[in-house]
Amino acid sequence: MCGIIGYTGHRPAVPLAVKGLKSLEYRGYDSAGVAFVQNNKLTTVRAEGKLGNLESKLETMNISIATSCMGHTRWATHGAPIERNAHPHKSWDESLAIVHNGIIENYQELKDQLSSKGYGFRSETDSEVFCNLIAEGVKQTGSLEKGLSWAVTQAEGAYSVLVMEESNPNVIYGARCACPFVLGVGQGENFVASDVPAFLAYTRNVVFLDDGELVRIDANSWEVKNARTLEPIEKEVHHIEWDVQAAQKDGYKHFMLKEIFEQPRVVTDCLAGRVDWQKQEVLLPELGTLPVPKRLHIVACGTSFNAGMWAQHLFESWARIPVSMEIASEFRYRDVILEEGDMVLVISQSGETADTLAALRIAKEQGIPVVGLCNVVGSSIARESNVTVYTQAGPEISVASTKAMCSQMAVLLLMGLSWAERKNLLDASLRTEMFDGLRKLPNLLEAELPRIREDAKRLAREYSSARSFFFLGRGVGYPLAMEGALKLKELSYIHAEGYAAGEMKHGPIALIDPEFPTFAIALNDQFFAKVKSNLEEVQARAGDVIALTNPNSDLSVKHKWVLPDVTYPLSSFMVLPALQLFSYESADYLGKDVDQPRNLAKSVTVE
């Protein structure tokens, strides 16, 4: 996600902001920029690509010694990663500038309102809408503080935002709603940033801002208020001892762990602006530009393939769309029959996977529409697909894909509902069940993750000497089992195979003995009775079983790993982090390189 730094104090602020942005590089970005006041003029300098491009631009300019500055690294969500869309954004009258992280869900509605009041827009971003909204707030209320507070009451979504005025650049305001924001308290200088590393070189005194808070800094003072009522809020100053690397991981030992724990937030971000909760409708305008496919070919690799296979079940049963699952490296060399009315859905976190990209090109050559489901804006797959739907998961740094799969599943589920709706097949009770369940999911997941981790840790230690594992499931549990096995082998180098539980007796069961444990997905859903009987077969051969299941399930296995009751198929969003955490804890306990497993690359750009 984007990186933000705001500084006001006694040092040259522009180089300080660029240095702060460098320590936020781990968050991922595709453009960067700074705002400061020079010769009484609010000035922004922005560049596509890496911070080096911004620095080169700044070197060619005669920058005065500004002592206040806002800086931003942008991870594109709305609008391509080009200079025009980079932050900071100035209001239409150029009186103020903002840097923003997050998504303004109702930006289109706000944009229409602001346009009718004469505001213009120079970019395609939701952030510029927020900027003009604050300017309108200042106009209506007479001050930046009140104007920002008013804007906060109008904007829906998740954000952290900083704003600076041309007329008074030595005071910077910020507001937080569900995106990280911290205040750094220095001597004769203060900072607000997305994360602590941005200012760790100058101060270790930190105030953690909470949702719904507004912050004001100048060189010598700071204050925090309720963003809506402007009532002052007392905040505690913490002294932190972390080094920069630990701070980048937000205190987590590994990026993988941090990313697993980000999943509640990821679900919220995926749904942002894509669900009308009142009407219980999915809003995926990108998809609406193409007809509902008569037949769908899902093409992907690795974890993205598993996400696609999970969605196959929903597309078939909800929208009655015949789906074929295709491993990209196979699809590209088969003579696949593609016909009129077909659609190819390519899934890729990075948007750069060579085989998936090749498959996309083959489909396009044959005139078949391609929908790309990607996380990285502006990636090759995103650019070349006829329609791109973004997962909005934020950058994934750990090589092992975790939150990306969660985001893919969330968006795929919405696609299934949307296609079912368009075919008039969406059953009213399913609609209510899914919308109610989706609304509750992020909080439930957030509450459960610490306990799931504790269980994972305990089991990982107990099974740390196993040399092989089966992962079994049926229905949507089968692709999850494949993902569980993939995670375990790539992280801990323990041999693991994901199988459809019903296939066991066609060969693999011969391997079962007391040293060969089985990990099963046996939730209280339509597949339970069948999985249960497959597990009895395993136990009859003295096999040891860990089963992810629900309270009160009628299952007798060595380890019942109980997850809360969640409606099908949303229950998968509980199973996924359990599998991820089991692998994470196994690898960590065995001393493996969790974030960079051997022989693997984050983005597989060669065949």
Active-site residue list: 2, 602
User: Which region, judged by CB under 6 A, interacts with ligand M6R, from 362-370, 398-406, 446-454, 497-505?
Assistant: 398-406
Element spanning 342, H or E: strand 342-348
- Looking at residues 404 to 433 of the shown chain, list those that interact with ligand M6R (rule: CB under 6 A): none
Least distance in angstroms from the C-beta of 306 to ligand M6R: 8
Q: Which two tokens stand for residue 207?
A: 């105030």
In 3D, which of 466, 527, 534 has the Cα closest to residue 506? 534
Based on CB atoms, which residue is closest to ligand M6R, 303 or 524?
A: 303
CA 508 to each of CA 365, 471, 534, 583: distance values in angstroms, whole numbers, following the listed order:
41, 12, 12, 22
Give residues 10-69 in contact with ligand M6R (rule: CB under 6 A): none
Cβ-based nearer residue to ligand M6R, 38 or 603? 603
Q: Which is nearer to ligand M6R, 205 or 329 (CB)?
A: 329
Residue nearer to ligand M6R on the CB measure, 216 or 489: 489
Q: How many residues make contact with ligand M6R (CB under 6 A)?
A: 15
- From 505, 488, 506, select the one nearest 497 (Cα to Cα): 488
Of 209 and 604, CB closest to ligand M6R = 604
Helices (H), 231-353: 244-248, 255-261, 263-271, 285-288, 302-319, 328-331
Q: Partners of 37 in the beta sheet?
A: 42
Choose between 148 and 374: whose C-beta lies nearer to ligand M6R: 374
Q: Residue 347's closest CA among 337, 359, 365?
A: 359
Q: Between β-strands 545-549 and 518-521, what pairing exists: parallel, antiparallel or unpaired?
A: parallel
Beta carbon of residue 398, minimum distance to ligand M6R (angstroms, whole number): 8
Least Å distance, CB 327 to ligand M6R, is 11
Among 34, 54, 148, 400, binds ligand M6R (CB under 6 A): 400
Among 26, 21, 562, CA closest to 252:
26
- In the bound state, the residue with its beta carbon closest to ligand M6R is 302
**Do strands 370-374 and 342-348 pair parallel, antiparallel, or not at all (unpaired)?**
parallel
Position among 127, 132, 248, 303 found at the interface with ligand M6R (CB under 6 A): 303
DSSP letter at 515 equals T
Task: Report the nearest approach of ligand M6R to the CB of residue 385 (Å).
Answer: 13
Q: Between residue 547 and residue 606, which ones bind ligand M6R under the rule CB under 6 A?
A: 603-604
Q: Does 301 bind ligand M6R (CB under 6 A)?
A: yes
Report in angstroms how near the CB of residue 602 gets to ligand M6R at its nearest: 7
Q: Which of 270, 399, 538, 574 binds ligand M6R (CB under 6 A)?
A: 399
- Sequence-distant (6+) residues with CB within 8 A of 35 are 42, 43, 44, 69, 70, 71, 88, 90, 97, 99, 164
Task: For residues 405 and 1, give the distance between their C-alpha atoms in angstroms, rounded to a whole number.
Answer: 17
Q: Among residues 68, 77, 127, 304, which is the contact residue for ligand M6R, using CB under 6 A?
A: 304
CB-wise, 185 or 578, nearer to ligand M6R? 578
The whole-angstrom distance between residue 115's C-alpha and the CA centroid of its chain comes to 31
Least separation in angstroms between residue 436's CB and ligand M6R is 30
CB of 24 to ligand M6R, least distance (A): 23
For ligand M6R, what does the binding mask look like between residues 324 and 353, x meaning CB under 6 A? Answer: ------------------------xxx--x
Closest approach of Cβ 288 to ligand M6R, in Å?
25
Residue closer to ligand M6R by CB (options 245, 599) is: 599
Q: Is 535 helix (H, G, I), strand (E, B) or coil?
A: helix
CA distance 292 to 90: 40
What CA–CA distance (Å, rounded) separates 363 from 340?
A: 11
Q: How far apart are CA 528 and CA 519, in angstroms?
A: 14
Binding site for ligand M6R (CB under 6 A): 301-304, 348-350, 353, 356, 399-401, 490, 603-604
